[in-house]
Amino acid sequence: MKLADNKATLSFSNGSPSVEMPVYQGSIGPDVIDIRKLYAQTGMFTYDPGFLSTASCQSAITYIDGDKGELLYRGYPIEQLAVNCDFLETCHLLLYGNLPNETQKKDFTSRVTNHTMVNEQMQFFLRGFRRDAHPMAVLTGLVGALSAFYHDSTDINNPQHREVAAIRLIAKMPTLVAMAYKYGKGEPYMYPRNDLSYAGNFLRMMFGTPCEDYVVNPVLERALDRIFILHADHEQNASTSTVRLCGSSGTNPFAAIAAGVACLWGPAHGGANEACLNMLEDIQRQGGVSKVGEFMEKVKDKNSGVKLMGFGHRVYKNYDPRAKLMQETCNEVLKELGLENDPLFKLAKELEKIALEDDYFVSRKLYPNVDFYSGIVQRAMGIPVNLFTGIFALARTVGWIAQLNEMISDPEYKIGRPRQLFTGSERAGKRAAAIQTLIVDGPRPPTHESPPHPGGLFLWCAGSASRPRIVVTPVTVQRVLP
């Protein structure tokens, strides 16, 4: 890290001595004040829930200029990568820091292609899920389960293991996402094909069947590849920070990525594409474009709890550059499929037009994010709404693993362990210190008492076996049963 010429001084109004803190400069973007010694020097923590002003790490992978609406992967603007590169080249860039030359590209593509199959045992694991399980629930389980199948790539401190885990994850995610989809549909899984591109292979595993040949549509293949590129990394967002925090304990890479998948699922993050399409379908059902004004009034009413999904971003205070590219892809895909008059696309454009002119959105600098149009593209391709976030997870896996590997290689990295401002009771009273009891309350009074376990928790087992009611309550033991 590069020290800046200036230092920061923190002074206190109560006469405590002021503290000087070093300032570090990034290559671009805001400088950071190094507060690591603050607690040792002052006995105080900083308070920043939601990380509004806190850099949790140093990173050389992705840079966002939220005011300009700029996104760079290793210095390359996303617009250039989306137009001139394919997803695997982008993966190489994110993982190793450079766009591959021809030999490197061939080698990298071949390594990924040769890891696309999953252990045959995975399908039996998958069978444990209900067919109607949400694909993100399935994926969280499947990705974590990879650690049970590939024991030679679970040591996060071994560079060779990390490298193999990275290739395996990038290669196997499309297979797992397609398997989750096929399982839900009750169709046979399609094994990967090595002669197809990364996106083409995924389309075939999704929509092909063993009954006939599947011909990849090049427009859809390119569109999907672009979706993957646009979602590949986004610096220290919620899921990436989750992966870093999870991995900081030294857990295996598959478990850390599974944590990222779980975090991504939420509607404020990767789940926004699903939530956005559900919102559009909802407005469409209620009357479509004619209901946009009414809907916008609800969005602006803080008490309604309604948000314009696919709008707003913690970092972008300008147009998300990915949303522009996604809108372009949306036009291409709808044209290719003869869906130019798609009512949801029209509705989305109308919502965007109104929002961009409305003072509520203008004053808060709320613009469409990548998820505003990605759902329309995916839906047109035949991807079910509940799989949108799974596609996002597939694409983001390379970003997660690149960030995880960067963290482990950083000599300054430590286990992540935030502090807190404690606002609870000062000291536990007699009642709380007493033994707590778990009461199993059935129609009949308790008849049996289990021995207390070492934590001092009593279990009273009782009641009808057919319909026990369980009440867990932190009460003091008032009587001991004979």
Question: Where do contacts with ligand ACO occur on this chain (CB under 6 A)?
Answer: 268-270, 272, 299, 307-314, 364, 366, 369-371
Residue with tokens 């860039």: 93
Of 224, 230, 227, the closest CA to residue 207 belongs to 224
Contacts of 307 (CB under 8 A, 6+ apart): 299
Structure tokens belonging to residue 272? 């926004």
**Of 313, 320, 410, 448, which residue is the catalytic one?**
313
Structure tokens belonging to residue 460? 């009273």
The nearest distance, CB 377 to ligand ACO, in angstroms, is 15
The nearest distance, CB 78 to ligand ACO, in angstroms, is 13
The nearest distance, CB 398 to ligand ACO, in angstroms, is 15
- The residues with which 32 forms a beta bridge, in sequence order, are 24
Rounded Cα distance, 301 and 306, in Å: 8
Residue with tokens 């009771």: 425
Nearer to ligand ACO, 51 or 191 (CB): 51
Nearer to ligand ACO, 208 or 271 (CB): 271
The nearest distance, CB 320 to ligand ACO, in angstroms, is 7
Output phi, psi for 158, to 5 deg: -100, 115
Long-range pairs of 147-153 with CB within 8 A, sequence gap ≥ 24 = 147/252, 147/253, 147/254, 147/255, 149/118, 149/119, 149/121, 149/122, 150/119, 150/254, 153/253, 153/254
Nearer to ligand ACO, 176 or 370 (CB): 370
DSSP per-residue codes, 285-352: HTTGGGGHHHHHHHHH-GGG----TTB--SS-SS--HHHHHHHHHHHHHHHHTT-TT-HHHHHHHHHH
Residue with tokens 């989809």: 181
The nearest distance, CB 203 to ligand ACO, in angstroms, is 23
Q: Which residue is nearest to ligand ACO (CB)?
A: 312
DSSP one-letter code for 3? E
Rounded Cα distance, 97 and 75, in Å: 9
The nearest distance, CB 264 to ligand ACO, in angstroms, is 8
* Element housing 73 (H / E): strand 70-73
The nearest distance, CB 299 to ligand ACO, in angstroms, is 5
Nearer to ligand ACO, 52 or 471 (CB): 52
Nearer to ligand ACO, 224 or 227 (CB): 227
**Of 132, 371, 410, 453, which residue is the catalytic one?**
371
Nearer to ligand ACO, 134 or 162 (CB): 134
Task: Note the maximum CA span of the chain.
Answer: 80
Nearer to ligand ACO, 242 or 437 (CB): 242
Structure tokens belonging to residue 401? 């693993």
Is residue 371 among the annotated active site residues?
yes
Output the 3-class SS for 135-190: HHHHHHHHHHHHHHHCHHHCCCCCHHHHHHHHHHHHHHHHHHHHHHHHHHHCCCCC
Which residues are marked as active site? 313, 371
